[in-house]
Structures are given as C-alpha cells and as structure tokens.
Amino acid sequence: MLSKSHPRYESLVLRDKIVKASKAGYLADSAMIAHGRGEAFDYLLGEKTTLPAKRAMYVTVAIMLLSKNPVISVNGNTVALAIDEIIEFAREIDAKIEINLFYRTDDRVNKIAKLFYDRDYPEILGTNNDEMMHINEIKNPRASASKNGIYSADTVLVPLEDGDRAEILSRSGKNTITIDLNPLSRTSKMSDVSIVDNLVRAIPFMTKIARDLKLQDEELLREIIEEFDNDINLKESLELFKIKEEVK
Ligand code: PTJ
C-alpha cells in the first residue's frame, strides 16, 4: 500500500499502474524503459505543466474541435496511465479513439480492447475486427491504421508516438499532434503541435480547455491556431529544462 505522505507519491502511483499493466500482459516489453525516460524528463521539468505546454494544449483543442474526423491514438502506456481520462476527453471533443501499437500483437490488442468494452466504450477502433489500411499506401506495419479512424482522420493526437510513425502521419498531411515529455525526440520535432508534458496531466487539462473552447466562436479558435508557431514553442519548452535546485 502506497502512503500518500511519501514525497514521491504521485510518481509511485504511476509506476504502480505501469507494473500492474505489465503483469496484465498488455504493455510492450520496453514500456517500462519508455516510462522511465519520461519520468526523468518530467523530473527535470519540475513535474509541472509549463506555459508552452498549456499553449500547445489550447491549440490542440482548437484544432480538434474544428476537425471533421479527429482521432486519439492510444498505445499500451497511454491506456495503463490514463484510459478513463482519454475516454472522457474523447467524449468531450467528439473524437474517436484508436488502438495503435508500435509492437502490435493480437493478444495485446484484445486485452486493450476489453478494457474499453469494460468501460462501456464499444466504439474503440483499431481492434482485430477492424478493417486496417496503409497510410499513403506505405506497405509497412508502421503505416497501418483503421479505415474509419487514423487512416481517414484529418487530425491525430498521439501520446508517446514512435518517430517513424510520427513521420508517416505528418507526411500524410494530417494534423499531427503529440504528447511527449522529450522535446528533442524525433516525434516532437516531426509534429505540427508538440505538447511537452506528462500525458497524465495533459489529457485532463485539455478536457477542461475543451469545456471552455466549445463555447467560443470558431473565429477565436482559428486565431489561437494561427498565432501558434510549434518550433518557437518547442524551443521555449526545451529552455525550461534546467536544474532549479542547488546541491547543498
Ligand atoms: O504500446 P506500444 O507497442 O505502442 O509501445 C509503446 C512504447 C512507449 C513502448 C513505444 O512507443 C516506445 O518504445 O516509445 P519510445 O521510443 O521509448 O518513446 C517514448 C517517449 O515517450 C519518450 O520520449 C518518453 O520521454 C515519452 N514519455 C514516456 N512516458 C510519458 C512520455 N511522454 C508523456 N507522458 C508520459 N507519461
């Protein structure tokens, strides 16, 4: 039992989720390494949502609200850390959710799909029953996507995406939005909007933003998007990675 008084309580809760998901058999073998890398970046960021991250999130929500077919991509880590928050966000902005695994196996897909069915979310895409296509006809498993989901999407939000897939998505002309704690990753550099934040903070924050932006004029949403420059924002995100404490 984790004690709430532990100074690293929140971080330990996330580790526990990853460990349980790993035991349940739906995480990639390297999922813990990916999580650990994320933890290290988050530590250096002060485990707080930064101003550039918030800016990128407003732009993300504006783009998704204006999109015809926005899709949120989920992998093992994302499901382990934030499945309920993802469903809530998808419902708030009327987006689809697609299982999109870098290390895809039928068993992992079935296990993840069941987690969505158990939460009364039968419309989950990317399952083994789904019609899968190849983005831009690239015959590479990294380009596979559900016909009604990522394949035909105009906007794709991909937390923790691999660089190859981010590149394929970005080249396909889709609005590619990523959540990645590493501002130097190929994924962050390839994307149209890069949210440098922990997805466990970013997703619920965007649900709140959506509740506000849904009430605003489309013109305001377009202004938010037009004023945004991802390269500048990414540089600002990077500058916030510094050691703020002195060693005694
Ligand atoms: O479930 P699968 O098969 O799709 O596999 C998922 C992983 C994450 C194992 C796979 O995509 C992978 O190997 O990813 P990478 O290349 O290790 O990249 C993961 C990136 O996500 C790193 O840049 C981490 O810093 C970042 N990251 C890790 N945890 C979080 C995160 N970013 C935001 N929020 C997190 N909680």
37 CA: nearest ligand 1 atom? 25
> How far, in Å, is the centroid of ligand 1 from the Cα of 91?
24
Report yes or no: 101 and 27 within 8 Å, Cβ to Cβ.
Answer: no
Q: What is the pLDDT of residue 246?
A: 67
* Residue pLDDT, tens place only, 106-159: 999 999 999 999 999 999 999 998 888 888 777 777 778 999 999 999 999 999
Distance from Cα 159 to the centre of ligand 1, integer Å: 8
d(CA 71, CA 128): 18
Element (H, E) at 146: strand 144-146
Pocket of ligand 1 (CB under 6 A): 28, 30-31, 34-35, 37-38, 41, 75-77, 81, 101-103, 160, 162, 179-182, 185, 198-200
| Percent of the chain residues past pLDDT 70, beyond the cut | 98
User: In a mutational test of the pocket of ligand 1, which residue from 160, 169, 179 has the highest number of ligand atoms less than 8 Å from its CB?
Assistant: 160
| ipTM score of complex | 0.98
Feature table: binding site for ATP: 15, 37, 180-182, 186-187, 198-199
Ligand 1 center to 198 CA (angstroms): 11
* Residue labelled with tokens 């949210």: 195
How far away, in angstroms, is 217 Cα from ligand 1 center? 35
From the CA of 219, how far away is ligand 1's center (Å)?
Answer: 35
The mean of the pLDDT values for the chain is 94
| Among protein residues, the one whose CA lies closest to atom 30 of ligand 1 | 38
The confidence band for 3, taking pLDDT boundaries of 50, 70 and 90, is: confident
Atom of ligand 1 nearest to the CA of 197: 33
- Kindly list the structural domains of the chain, giving each domain's residue range(s) and its CATH number in brackets, ordered by start: 51-239 (3.40.50.12640)
Give me ligand 1 centre to Cα 183, in Å: 13
C-alpha pair distances (Å), 214 with each of 66, 93, 119, 203: 10, 8, 25, 16
Q: Could you read off the pLDDT of 16-50 as tens digits, one per residue?
A: 999 999 999 999 999 999 999 999 999 999 999 99
Torsion of CA 146, 151, 154, 155, to 10 degrees: 60
Which atom from ligand 1 is nearest to the alpha carbon of 103?
3
Residue pLDDT, tens place only, 45-102: 999 999 999 999 999 999 999 999 999 999 999 999 999 999 999 999 999 999 999 9
Name every residue whose Cβ is closer than 8 Å to that of residue 64 and which is 6 or more positions away in sequence. 70, 93, 95, 155, 157, 177, 210
